[in-house]
Chains A and B, each alone.
Chain A
Amino acid sequence: MRFFEYESRRIVELSGIPVTEYGFCTTAAQAREAAERIGGPVVIKSQVLTGGRMKAGGVKFADTPEEAEGHAAEILELEINGHMPRGVLVDPKAEVKQEYYAGVVWDGTAKRPLMLFSDMGGIDIEEVAEKHPDHVGRGHVSNLLPISDFEAKQTVAGAGVTGSQLNRATAVLARLARLFRERDMTLAEINPLAELEDGSFVALDAHMEMEDEAKPRQKPLLEGELEIAPEDTREPYEPSDFERNVKAIDSADHRGVIQGKDHGFTGNLGLVIGAGGGSLTLTDAVRSQGGKPANYAEIGGNPSVSKACGLAKQVLLKDGVEKIAVMMSIVSNTRVDIVARGVIKACLELDKDPAETIAIFRIPGAWEEEGFKILDRYGVEYCDRSVSMWEAAGRAVEKIQGATA
């Protein structure tokens, strides 16, 4: 889950890292008030969950509260990469002596958080790492032992920083690493971390992402401190009706799991497929053989007949879907007969002939004899494990191409 900048700033502030006084505003009038309160030149920043806002005109400077109000009004109406802003952040325009970068990410290979520090802040850290590797300090921290200041110090020193700056930056990076661990972040970045003219360090911009799996235990932060509503899930895009409906069917019944996605899929072959790895393999197999999937789906964990039926129905109700392919890797928990019943029921309830509508049924494994008997009764073409997932996908593609040719 990604946080807006104003939320990230609050998270940073809660961990004891200094930030400049800032105001989150949803109207131009509020922005004017914030600028008045701050006094002096301010910067107005669009609050969107996407990068590139500077280029898009989502960041503007103002010398007076009137100017701030005008800029805020424009930015509030400005769509960036398909995202409308949640509001604007009004921040004093700081007198910066030097910009730094402080970040913590997961290193999946080492299985530990990795601290990163650079004295070249304000730009993308990956770019700095590539072009100026000697300006990036790195250091892993333990998941079990307390995070000590010296670990942060080594990382800051690794970027070639010394003097009073080393000591100030160490305190910030150590707090950021502790925050990363305590708040279950997957990314915690302060960029730029600014050294002001008086030598103090403040976070001017922050970017935080939290692991979705940890949201239940981070409720006090999410709902308490940040007042984020539980339904505000921050998907990378607006879910479609198909996606919403499948989700609703899934949550209505605890038995098994179904998932459906159609963002980026526009084809005519509906996929009722599973499980995790099977779905990835089958989607590729359909595409590689010239098929155009209408959606992505996952069936797993032995869903009920009504759940399997619900997924198949939603796929069949999608615009342009003529046939569905029902395919899975060999199942040992999900029952073949239950999925067979579910997809046939979906066809019948929509007044469609299962034999015509189901291009292929390829689910081998638990209860397959029972499943195949049911499919026989309705004249649906099925196959067992002797037909590979690739071949089954190919047959489905052939059928739909034959139908539309």
Chain B
Amino acid sequence: MSILLSKDTTFIVQGITGREAVNLTRECLDYGSKVVGGVTPGRKGREVHGVPVFDTVEQAVEHHGAPVDGSVVTVPPAFTKDAVLEAIENGIKLIVVVTERIPRGDVAQMVELAGMRGARIIGPNCLGVIVPGVCKMGGIGGPAKDAAKAYAPGPVGVMSRSGGMTTEISSSLTAAGLGVSTAVSIGGDAIIGSAYAELMPLFEADEQTEAIVIYTEPGGRMEAQLAEWVKENHSRLPIVAFMAGKFMDEEEMKGMSFGHAGTIVEGAEDTAAQKIARLQSAGITVVERIDEIPDAVKQKLGAIVGG
């Protein structure tokens, strides 16, 4: 099994005629994903790698003849909110928002409507979701042959605030013979649709997943929220975390943003040191070096089997 996606998942691409979206569509089709339509207003009647293009999400859903499960939204920041609301109001339940530099107010609106309609948003500022060998929704992992190289099926769920690091970490898990159940690039913004703690119940319920790896950065309260969730829910899943951006704790770096829009130390709770302490207090292993992740996971899995 997996979370969020399965072999039957159907999705559309909003903004499909854009340069990046054309590549992404090709990659997803090559990987075996079911891309059933695309939307770019004014471009109805075209095709992108055989995928029909429509003016509206409504037309795309109608053409498919059945509910569409998901949408990858890759339109300019000024139009993203409208595109996401359009997807939600047309019954789509899983929306991957690739676009970055969307104002927080817009993101909060999308997320609030999604909550009201029972839909889920991944991102913004993310690369999407991949279930190794089954389905890839978004640019995650790149071209199908590259994605196959980095992502093998296995027991580890991956959640990362960095799209690139999702693949780097998964690749090391694959090379170590572990593999990945589902990897989610959750997005690098201050407000995102699905934070770690909001995805944990899904991994918790997924039989394939036996351990979790998270990639984290300074800024925000997402890690504290995860630590609280783990404590309250007595999670069965061991978690290994890696914290990047420790240099941002230096005094002269305060108030500066690095890497992602949400990666900025604004308060005492935001620092790498504080977050590491909070994660550890919940029993989460925080590794110092990126290449220690696979061994730390093996140790945790070994402890479960042994116990």
Contacts and interface: CB of A to CB of B under 8 A. Distances in A.
A-B interaction = yes
Interface in A325-344: 328-333
Contacts of A252: none
Interface stretch (A146-154, A225-233, A275-283): A275-283
B290 A388 contact: yes
- Which of B168, B252, B258 neighbours the largest number of chain A CB atoms within 10 Å of its CB? B168
A298 interface: yes
Contacts, number: 163
Contacts of A143: 105, 108-109, 111-112
Interface of A: 106, 108-109, 111-113, 142-144, 181, 184, 186, 211, 213-214, 216-217, 236, 261, 263-264, 274-281, 283-285, 287-288, 296, 298, 300, 328-333, 365-366, 385-386, 388-391
Contacts of A184: 103-105
Contacts of B250: 264
B50 interface: no
Contacts of A278: 162, 164-165, 168
B101 interface: yes
Interface string B141-185: 111001100100000000011111101100110010000000000
B246 to A, nearest CB: 5
Contacts of A279: 258-259
Contacts of A277: 160-165, 188, 215, 217, 244, 259-260
Contacts of B190: 106, 108
B273 interface: no
A332 B167 contact: yes
A286 to B, nearest CB: 9
Interface of A is mostly: mixed
Contacts of A385: 168, 171, 175
A280 B245 contact: yes
Interface stretch (B4-12, B57-65, B218-226): B218-226
A95 to B, nearest CB: 35
Contacts of B168: 278, 329-330, 385, 389
Interface in B273-307: 288-291
Interface string B253-267: 101101111110000
B102 interface: yes
Task: Give the 4 A-B residue pairs with the shortest CB-CB distance, closest first.
Answer: A332-B142, A277-B162, A388-B291, A264-B252
**Interface size range of chain B in the complex:** 35 or more
B253 A106 contact: no
Interface string B99-120: 0011111011101110000000
B78 interface: yes
B190 to A, nearest CB: 6
Given A217-B78, A329-B164, A332-B167, A236 B143 contact: no
B175 A285 contact: no
A108 B247 contact: no
Interface in B127-153: 139, 141-143, 146-147, 150
B77 interface: yes
Contacts of B222: 108-109
B240 interface: no
- Which of B108, B113, B217, B260 neighbours the largest number of chain A CB atoms within 10 Å of its CB? B108
Given A112-B112, A143-B105, A389-B290, A275 B164 contact: yes
- Which of A112, A216, A283, A386 neighbours the largest number of chain B CB atoms within 10 Å of its CB? A283
- Which of B109, B164, B255, B260 neighbours the largest number of chain A CB atoms within 10 Å of its CB? B164
B146 A366 contact: yes
Contact of A211 (B104, B139, B150, B242): B104
B200 interface: no
Contacts of B101: 213
